[in-house]
Amino acid sequence: MTRNGLAILALSIAPLAAMPGAASAQSVLGSGVAPATVDNSAERPIAFATAMPADAAIAVVMTGADLPALAASLPADTAARIAAADFTGADGQTLVLPAPAGGRPIMLFGAANADGEPIDWRVVGARIAREFQGEDAAIAIAGLPSGEAMAMAALGASLGQYRFDRYKSDRSAPPVQPITLVGSAAAEARAQWESRQAHLAEGVRLARDLVNEPANVIYPASFVDRARAALAGAPNVTIEVLDEADFRRLGMGAIAGVGQGSSRGSRMMVVTYRGADGPPIALAGKGITFDSGGISLKPNSGMWEMKGDMSGAAAVTGAILSLAKSRAPVHVVAVAALAENMPGANAQRPGDVVRTLSGKTIEIRSTDAEGRLVLADAIEYVVQENEPFALVDIATLTGSAVGALGAEYSALFARDDAHADAATAAGRLVDEPVWRLPLNEAYRKAIVSDIADIKNSDASPAPGASAGAHFIEYFVPEDLPWIHIDMAAVDRGSGSDPLVPAGARGWGVMLLDELARSWRPG
């Protein structure tokens, strides 16, 4: 090129370099413009009372045709109307009563199960909260038979009215008058609510918020910030956060490798709640804040849902929040393995080999089998540093689990029948059911790599969910009680369940909370 040509080139470039803000703009992650500056709209607070509040819409819970003790608050002809409508108090039945002139609505809600199964009072509370969600008045719920039933209905009412609307620029403010649970056992119900159920609702709400948020808002560093804010002031809680420099220093190449193609650095958040002495139970959650598939790129259809590929990390974070704020008498360590899986110029490739904290090696057959990679280092770290008596990992891990079980169950894997039974019982108690799938020696052999210790994909003839479980098992000491939960099928809800609005379910928070309380060493 001629000297004049060089001069011309220099002149053409110089004005671009001199443009104000040109260099700094390249250092901004994302657009630099927050998509919202408001929180979700407020929900109705929960209250308890022994007397009916004035000017409230009334919901009466019934398990038969006989009126409860508050009959004086109802129209005089209520019994006759019940008989005329053939209202028996069966689950799902409702009966609207005429309100006095200018008065608030009155509705009877049937709750009795036809098969005699115990009533889930949470569902009752959620149904009522949804039915009256647009009512511009306080809501009173009466007819519940005990303090425990009132507290559980309050939990349901809280979960059922959850909303995620902070990105709706045209939203209207919903009614925020309280929901009051009315009954003679109000004091007992309030004590149960304030000591446990309110904190459980907060843990589920945190998990739902984390999963519902878009990936330009929740990424590894901001996930940690959100968790820190939620846990601020919780008793006996400490938080440790490892970053990419720590991963390189410690030799944690599996989690480092997953995030190396993203401009947003990976993190490992370790939250410890010490509410008891002795070794902890460890909860490890997959936290892929967005999963593009990496170089093994996913198809576009449905990829937006991969903002929720951190549902496992959200579940363990919500669970330890609930446990800590309710001062549960347990020792728990929750690990969130956080990375964004992107196909950048520095992204890992199929065929690469990575090394974990312990020195075990993994051949990358697919960069879209990344959740098991971040969990490998997370599990080895928590076992080495915290010496737990048991380990539960939870992840939106495989489409295979979805194909096997549909949207009704999470897949459960365990080496020991007693451990599987413990998880199954906990899931049944909180209505977050799990179904056990097999571990098998043939499947275990199928993950062996030709050039490394194991491979993260292409594990025929092992079914995908079992191959993923065996991969994770490879990093769990043989003598450590262990449960693996593949929750890929259940992280989102359609809105048909009264307890679960459309969007993130917060699944796993209640299961892990219960399991941490009930599982003991030995």
Active site residues: 298, 372
Contact 409, 298 (CB under 8 A): no
Phi, psi of 118 (to 5 degrees): -60, 145
Distance from C-alpha of 436 to C-alpha of 432, rounded to nearest angstrom:
13
Residue count of the chain, please give it: 522
Q: What is the 3-state secondary structure (H, E, C) of 50-67?
A: CCCCCCEEEEEEECCCCC
C-beta atoms surrounding 195 within 10 Å: 14
The encoded tokens of residue 346 equal 């520095």
Question: Tokens for 402?
Answer: 């979805």
User: Which residue type, as a one-letter code, is found at position 393?
Assistant: D
Query: Residue 503 in 3-state DSSP?
Result: strand
In 172-224, DSSP assigns E strands to 179-182
State the first-to-last Cα distance of the chain, in angstroms, to the nearest integer: 79
DSSP-assigned letters across all residues of 311-337: HHHHHHHHHHHHHHHTT-S-EEEEEEE
As a whole number of angstroms, the distance between CA 197 and CA 191 comes to 10
The amino acid present at 515, given as its one-letter code, is: L
Alpha-carbon span 356 to 250, nearest angstrom: 9
Among 206, 211, 159, 201, CA closest to 487: 211
